[in-house]
Structure 1
Amino acid sequence: MKTIVFFLEEPSAREMLEGVLPRMLPENIQIRYLVFQGKQDLEKNLKKRLHGWRLPDSVFVVMRDQDSGDCEAIKAKLTDLCHEAGREGVLVRVACRELESFYLGDLAAVEQGLGIRGLARQQQKRKFREPDTLSHPAEELYRLTGNIYDKVVGSRAIAPYLNLEANRSKSFRVLLSGIVNLAGG
């Protein structure tokens, strides 16, 4: 049985994936999560954890936020760490700015998950048409939800409603297509 192992920067990413992956992956795929305490912890321990992984038929996904960094430089650094660990073919994905861009790319899911009426209508506003370009998506989501959004609880609530095909976040769509390819689909 194939196992997809996710190396994640924070618990909210796990919550998001747990709400999305069951809807898109075949049942014969096993999923494991290694959640770190932020991007520094992820980068510090990635090589050791990847190198030490012994479960056969495992493939790997490394995911972290861009924040204010250079996306290509972050991806290159993470890819280098994977190579140093002796792992080729690791899927490295960087959420453009923050994980919350994924949610701002589907405000209908935010509305449904958090029970806030009227958010879906906001999707046509210019700034929500391309949420990956927003500088501070988490702040935007807090403001938009009247500070109801919480990273972990909000991710758990919103993720099951995310539209897997029509999300406005390109980095979300790229992440999902990479996972599908890893799974063999």
Structure 2
Amino acid sequence: MRTIVFFLEEPSAKEMLQGVLHRILPDEIFVRYVVFQGKQDLEKNLKIKLRAWTLPNCSFVIMRDQDSGDCKVIKETLANICEKAGKKGVLIRIACHELESFYLGDLAAVEKGLDLKGIEKRQQQRKFRDPDLLTNPSEEMFKLTNNIYDKVSGSRAIAPYLAIESNFSKSFNTLISGIKNLI
């Protein structure tokens, strides 16, 4: 059996993936999640976790937020950690700027998942046509939903409705295509 192991910055990323992966992965792929408590915890402990992973037939995916950092520098740092751990071919994906960009890229999913009205029609507003450019997507989600959105429960509610093929977030699309390429 083949396994994909996701190393994640935060619990909300796990919730998002659980709502999406069953729609793109074949049943014979097993998924495991290693959830860290923030990006510093991820970077500090990733090497140890990767080195300790001895289960055969595993592919690894690391996902973290860009926040205010430089995507290329973050990806290079994570790639160096993987190399030092002796793991090659690790898929590294950065959410630009935060995971909430994925949700802002599919306002129909936000509307359905949070049972709100009138949000989907805002997708054609300039800022929601390219949500990866927003510097604080989580703040935008709170405003858009009148503070109904919560990072973990909101991710759990929205993710099952995220469109796999038509999200306006380029970083979401890059994550999905990378996972599809793994299989």
Aligned to 1:56: 56
Aligned to 2:119: 119
Structure 1: unaligned runs, 5 residues or longer: none
Matched, 1:78 2:58: no
Alpha-carbon displacement from aligned partner over 1:83-116 (angstroms, at most 9, x marks no partner): 0000000000000000000000000000000000
Alpha-carbon displacement from aligned partner over 1:32-81 (angstroms, at most 9, x marks no partner): 00000000000000001001101110000000000000010000000000
**What is the one-letter code of the residue matched to 2:115?**
G
Task: Please report the TM-score for the alignment, with normalisation by the length of structure 1.
Answer: 0.98
Find the aligned partners of 2:75 and 2:29 in 1 and give their Cα distance: 26
Aligned to 2:27: 27
Find the aligned partners of 2:53 and 2:97 in 1 and give their Cα distance: 29
Aligned to 1:135: 135
Aligned to 1:181: 181
How many corresponding residue pairs?
A: 183
SS of residue in 2 equivalent to 1:149: coil
**What is the one-letter code of the residue matched to 1:145?**
T
Structure 1 residues 100-119: aligned runs within 5 Å: 100-119=100-119
Find the aligned partners of 2:175 and 2:36 in 1 and give their Cα distance: 19
Find the aligned partners of 1:180 and 1:56 in 2 and give their Cα distance: 20
Structure 2: unaligned runs, 5 residues or longer: none
**What is the one-letter code of the residue matched to 1:141?**
M
SS of residue in 2 equivalent to 1:81: helix
Aligned to 1:91: 91
Aligned to 2:154: 154
Find the aligned partners of 1:161 and 1:170 in 2 and give their Cα distance: 17
SS of residue in 1 equivalent to 2:6: strand
SS of residue in 1 equivalent to 2:5: strand
Aligned to 2:169: 169
**What is the one-letter code of the residue matched to 1:81?**
I
Aligned to 1:14: 14
RMSD: 0.4
SS of residue in 1 equivalent to 2:164: coil
**What is the one-letter code of the residue matched to 2:144?**
L
Aligned to 2:44: 44
Aligned identity (percent) is 67
